[in-house]
Structure 1
């Protein structure tokens, strides 16, 4: 479905096939129940858990409709997200003909003189079913896949089996390991389906991704350059002090520290990236895309390590707007490690530093506390909002 997203007929064909395949999972399990250990216990629990869920009811109804009546009634949407700063944000939805390009959508949307003229705008292509208007279809079918994976995981666990008896599959993320989390290749927020425009200069913002494979030789070189360190904590809040110590080692040696974000799920790091942005609009976009990434990964924790400007209090301009630290004369350079969890935990570490005459880094005393007390949680607001949306949909 993902590969055919921009091809309406092919997308519909794969969607129909997938929905029937997902429904067949429960049919096959029911057919073989006499041979399945503990069937009544774990299958009854599955039915009890999923029956109230609108997505699962939609899956059953959609399968019946596809088999007995006709195709689903698909709508091609564009979701427009406009971001002016960390707080000012607006989202709208528009319906367009299925074969209309993203550029044509943008032209139609911005022909309205009342649209915003500052900040950054993202246009996301979305396929939705008329009977399920609040879910994009890759997202909807992924959630159903996860529920069925939990069913199969419970069945395997009851039988004392850890792996499924299957051979190598394509793509590589499909393995014999029955997991209760989404497959790594199930990206429901792909950059390929999004366009970004900086309203300040009118130019598009392109996303470029470089994947780096861990190599032990490079790890050895890093240890020789910076010294040995490791992150042993089992969650983002506990990891923050360890990451601050490693950040100090890097900054002392290199005189700068690239931004780094670690995403956690169930106490383990599931993703590490080093986001780069060249201006403030790019920064706004980056953290909204990080929220997309958190949703795709089902991450329940996140840690940010970054060099930043910081000021200890709020100062406001003549219009009553907060003056950001980057625009203040009393600003300080700091190493900032911010950690947060979906459960509501927040923690920040700030280490002020200065640069000596010969370029050496001179560290001040580290201060710590909840993000709100230090006034540095702005970049995480898109992630907090996304976690709230996931909670409202009961996506666990």
Structure 2
């Protein structure tokens, strides 16, 4: 069986040309690519009802045309009829795929779909509530094949869709919250378009589910034509370590593209509960690995002698022992950066099966921005199919101090705060690890800061920033026997 390389399209970083030149099902793939473009039209116009409706109609028709185009090539593909008969049984058993067929017939022959708009408002004072919001959406993907919503208690408020943000905030002002909590809390305004015939599920999610099934269908048809997809694992750790080529037995995300891993970023508006301003002051930049620059930096000695990455110790990073070795490695690198006088920065590193998949640099100005970044980290983990995430950055720590209204003073405002470098790691297995490297600024400011480095302390758990990532994976906090099993070595 031959293998074919996935080529990236110029109009979307997650869209690839799968078919080689002259492929028998190239027309079907073109219809699927068209459906992907129309999906983005829907996402980009989510808050414009008329434009959203136009994009929805086009997306539904493009998705339905995929199977029409595929069947038109059946006479040229040996064994197609027997293979497709079994595929049709699977499609007929999926209520969402039946919905797309009925919807296309309605649009073409009768009228627009009867769409409804919904609004949910969630107050997010902490990372665990942000995680609850992430988990709620991710449950959708498991439910869709049977279209049976789970009975889940949500910490949300169903609000009339025509309420303004100002009116909602006015209602929330009557909620009894400690002042320090209110100053750091975010109000998530989550908009949802639904079809009245499938009102439990948001429409972008329904379209993405159908896309995923059809993408998987075309992948299986390519296998019928003796072609298979591969994925290259990218590693930025060192040039000597091999980067494996992985044959994809099953497509990630059940065939959905990485941009379809979550729809929250298109539907959610983040508002500060304290003053009603929109939370926009946060950024995530992709870190591009440059082997030449890395070699030049190492030879310069600006960060001291860099530790060698111990691949045997970290393995596939799925036990606490392996994660502890990974955390200690990053802490040792951080020690050199701090001693150089420079600011360390806030980074996230994403791994898949022991190899680095990507890295991000983060920046924000307040707690609300940190909540947004925590959500973005979880989405990135899903997009990449990552099974391990590490975050590292400077922070403040302090003893707990309560205010008169019962809340706690933020470490950054505590009169006896201490500077630390914090490393946190979580894996999809449920294992966690962390580490704290204490330091003290003697004088100066980055990049000419002089610091004294204290002790490195290993931690068994992590801070809240990675709770949304655990929620996105469907990993709950481990207790009892499960916790101790995750702490064991290989």
Q: What range is the shorter-chain TM-score in?
A: 0.7 to 0.9
Alignment of 1:189-268 (within 5 A): 189=263, 191=265, 193-207=267-281, 209=283, 211=285, 214=288, 216=290, 218-223=293-298, 224=300, 225-226=302-303, 235=316, 237=318, 238=323, 239-265=326-352, 268=355
Alignment of 1:330-341 (within 5 A): 332-341=418-427
Change (3 A) 1:240 1:37: farther
Alignment of 1:1-396 (within 5 A): 1=41, 2-36=43-77, 39=80, 43=84, 52-87=93-128, 90-96=155-161, 105-112=164-171, 116=175, 118=182, 119-162=185-228, 180=252, 182-186=256-260, 188-189=262-263, 191=265, 193-207=267-281, 209=283, 211=285, 214=288, 216=290, 218-223=293-298, 224=300, 225-226=302-303, 235=316, 237=318, 238=323, 239-265=326-352, 268-295=355-382, 299-310=386-397, 326=412, 332-355=418-441, 359-369=450-460, 371=461, 376-388=462-474
SS of equivalent residue, structure 1 residue 305: strand
Deviation at 1:43, TM superposition (A): 5.0
In 2: Cα distance, 1:41 partner to 1:335 partner: 60
Deviation larger for 19-28 or 293-302: 293-302
SS of equivalent residue, structure 1 residue 200: coil
> TM-score, with normalisation over the residues of structure 2?
0.61
Deviation larger for 108-117 or 75-84: 108-117
Change (3 A) 1:108 1:317: closer
Q: Using CA pairs below 8 Å that are at least 6 residues apart, which structure has the higher relative contact order? A: 2
Change (3 A) 1:314 1:236: farther
In 2: Cα distance, 1:215 partner to 1:209 partner: 19
SS of equivalent residue, structure 1 residue 274: strand
> What is the aligned residue count?
366
Contact 1:72 1:129 in 2 (8 A): yes
Structure 2: gaps of 5 or more residues: 1-40, 131-154, 231-247, 444-448, 477-490
Contact 1:258 1:306 in 2 (8 A): yes
Q: CA RMSD in A?
A: 4.1
Deviation at 1:83, TM superposition (A): 1.0
Deviations 1:108-167 (A, max 9, x none): 323436654722113233322222334332232122212221222222234332479xxx
In 2: Cα distance, 1:316 partner to 1:210 partner: 33
Deviation at 1:325, TM superposition (A): 5.0
In 2: Cα distance, 1:69 partner to 1:297 partner: 40
Change (3 A) 1:46 1:208: farther
Aligned to 1:101: none
In 1: Cα distance, 2:229 partner to 2:332 partner: 39
Change (3 A) 1:21 1:15: same
In 2: Cα distance, 1:124 partner to 1:143 partner: 20
Change (3 A) 1:291 1:94: farther
Deviations 1:252-308 (A, max 9, x none): 324432111133456554442222222233323332343444455555442211223
Change (3 A) 1:324 1:44: farther
Contact 1:348 1:368 in 2 (8 A): yes
Contact 2:352 2:385 in 1 (8 A): yes
Change (3 A) 1:143 1:360: same
